[in-house]
Amino acid sequence: MERVNSVITLTDGLDEQNPACPFHPAKELFWTSPEGQCSALHIRLKDGLDYLSLNLSVEGSIRPKIEFGNDKLILGCVKSGWCKIETEFNNIEKLEPAQWFQFSGSELLIDRTSENSIQFDLFLCSREMAKWLLELDPDKKNQSLLKYADKNNVVPFSSLQMSDPALIAANKIDPTSAHHIKNRLQLEGHVLSWMAEVLWDSSHIDSPANNTINNRDKDAIRGIAQQFKDDPSREYSLAELCAFSGLNEHKLKNGFKSIYGQTTFTFLRKSRMEYAATLLIEDRLSVIQVANEVGYSNASHFARSFKEQHGLLPKAYQCLYRG
C-alpha cells in the first residue's frame, strides 16, 4: 500500500512526425496495469497546439502521472466523472464535469478518481503559441498567457465553472470524428471556439473585484471548514460548497486559500485523516470500516493518504497508539 506513481507518457513520438504537414493524423495511445488503464487520442491541431482526449480509470494505490514531454500551458475540461489531482505544494484540487482548468508544467499527477472512469480533454500550448495568442490581446489582460510567454514564470493551477458558451463549445468537441476532412476542420474550429471562451473568462479572474474577501465571505468559508469537520465522510462537489456558502466558485477557492493556506479539498483530506486517526485509536473499528467512515470506498487509497499525513499505515498506527 505504499504510494506509487505510475508514469503515462502520452506525447511520445509525436514530434517526430513531418512538421510540414498541417494536419497530423490522430494517434491512439494506451496504458494499462493491474490497477488501472488509460486510453487517449492525441491530435496535433497546429504547430504548438495539441489536443488529448483521455479516458482513465484507476483502482488500488497507484497514482497515474501523465507526462507531456516539454513544459506546456495546459487547458482542460472534464466531460464525465471526477478526479482529484495534486498541484503545487502538494495541494489537492477536485475536477468535475463542466469545469475548466489551467496550469503550466510537463505532467499531471492524478491522486484519486471516481469509481467509474473519468473522461477529460486537454489542450497543450507551447510558449510560441502563447506568444501568438498574446498578439491578439494587445491590452495584455490575460495574465496566464502573459506569465507563460515569459519562460521564467509558472502559471499556477486554477479552475472555474464553464460559462454557457464554453460548455456549448466543449460539448461539440468530438475527437472520434477527426478522420474526415469536414469533421477534422470542424473539430479544430470547436477547439478554438472553446479556447476563445475560457481564455476570455480567465482574463477576468484576477480583477480586483473578484479578489475581495469581506467578513461575510470569511464567515461562509469558515462554515465550510466546520462542515468538513462535522461530516468528513461525504464526497462534496464544488456546486454543493458554493450553494452552502453562497459564494461563487472563484471567491470560494481564493478565500479558502487566503484563510487556511490550502485548497478546500486539501483541507478536507487532512480533516478526514485527523478523524481517521481518532477512530483508529478510540473505536473498535477495522481499517476498512474507518476508511468508509471518512469517505473512502477504496482501502488502498485511504491507506496511502493516511500514511502521507501521519507517516504510518493505518494498521501500524492503530497498533502503535491504541491502548
Give the tens place of pLDDT for each residue, 19-33. Answer: 555 667 788 888 777
Q: What is the pLDDT of residue 299?
A: 87
Can you tell me the mean pLDDT for 202-218?
Answer: 71
Of residues 179 and 317, more confidently modeled:
317
pLDDT above 50 for 2:
no
Can you tell me the mean pLDDT for 282-289?
Answer: 87
Q: What is the pLDDT of residue 273?
A: 95
Class of CATH domain 4-206? mainly beta
Instruction: Please tell me the number of Cα atoms within 13 Å of 211 on its side-chain side.
Output: 6
Q: What is the pLDDT of residue 1?
A: 29
Are the C-beta atoms of 166 and 198 separated by less than 8 Å?
Answer: yes
Give the tens place of pLDDT for each residue, 92-150. Answer: 999 999 999 999 999 999 888 887 788 999 999 999 999 999 888 888 788 889 889 88
| 40 φ, ψ (degrees, to nearest 5) | -145, 150
Are the C-beta atoms of 25 and 184 separated by less than 8 Å?
Answer: no
State the cell numbers at 113.
478518481
pTM for the model: 0.84
Cα torsion angle, 149, 71, 75, 40, sign:
positive
- The topology (CATH level 3) of 207-323 is Arc Repressor Mutant, subunit A (1.10.10)
Of residues 204 and 217, more confidently modeled:
217
Report domain extents, the chain: 4-206, 207-323
Give the tens place of pLDDT for each residue, 229-250. Answer: 999 999 999 999 999 999 988 8
Q: What is the pLDDT of residue 201?
A: 83
